[in-house]
Structure 1
């Protein structure tokens, strides 16, 4: 897709740019009168990040994610995002979506030649993504489900990581950002994380998705830590 964001270096600068571009496109293109189900949001996110892969160090990037669900197409819901190509992925690898330097396995996964190719070069996961929308109106359930997915990201070694979630209020968004930042710190994860909040819509609440990038290795502030100072 011409003009669509593409990862090149997989660093915090690119995560910041990717988050800003996706959030802007969501805000401009989403028709709130149509109220798409969360399954449609998931398809959008997976397609968008699949389209953001190109090459890394001159080699093609492999995108793994589950096969696209076609029960309900998301395109009518998002005016400014309708031109994103549908992904042609076949299965998940560790997470909801990954970019990696592993070779494409289509039609040769069970051949010795494929695994010889895997073993003869350095391999890494360049980007790992999880999405979790939680449950409308249920703050506790949403926190549990979002952190459940964040733990998966914390456990996986990847150059960059992305977590997309839905908050029920600005207060919950702030708490989830702090929770994930502390989880990342406790896991001793130095990889940059992109957090994208696509809030549940509620009457009287202005709707605006947002993006945040976690970098560095210093302990973040958190309500559970009280007034302790960083040591």
Structure 2
């Protein structure tokens, strides 16, 4: 589909249909967003970036479409520097129901030679949310990656994921910010997130 057709579809499917069971995504916003992300992954192009930009700049199109498109771009092998400005603009929107994807996107964008202060600030802020987030464990412990089961707990929290992504930062200009954040978490954070940091540190040095 061309840009105008995608945008028309986004306007038509601006909510998820209220359905029961396994079929609840069919025909709704989430299914279309997923499909758009897959298309971007397979066929990254300037036009796809223009579509994503149009969604971000719109006041009446769900930001989920832009986020899915950006996520697809990170999976495509295309130049991630091209989506950094778009992602920074997304960070200024209400993405409260898409934070798992936002944190993953941030992780991809800091794993480049150059990133931005906005992305780093988002990961720092999210990393410090251990103060008001409850961890949930739902993956079996592994003796090679667990300190008394604590690593499993950390990996299933948004703040734990944010810290792990923060430690992937390759831009040395943010080295002090990252060090100070991790040091604070190691001293004041819950045991599960501290254990994850300790396990990640040797891999990120």
TM value normalised by structure 1: 0.25
Between Structure 1 and Structure 2, the one with more helix by share is 2
TM value normalised by structure 2: 0.27
Q: Flag the structure with more relative contact order, 1 or 2, with Cα contacts below 8 A and sequence separation at least 6.
A: 1
Between Structure 1 and Structure 2, the one with more strand by share is 1
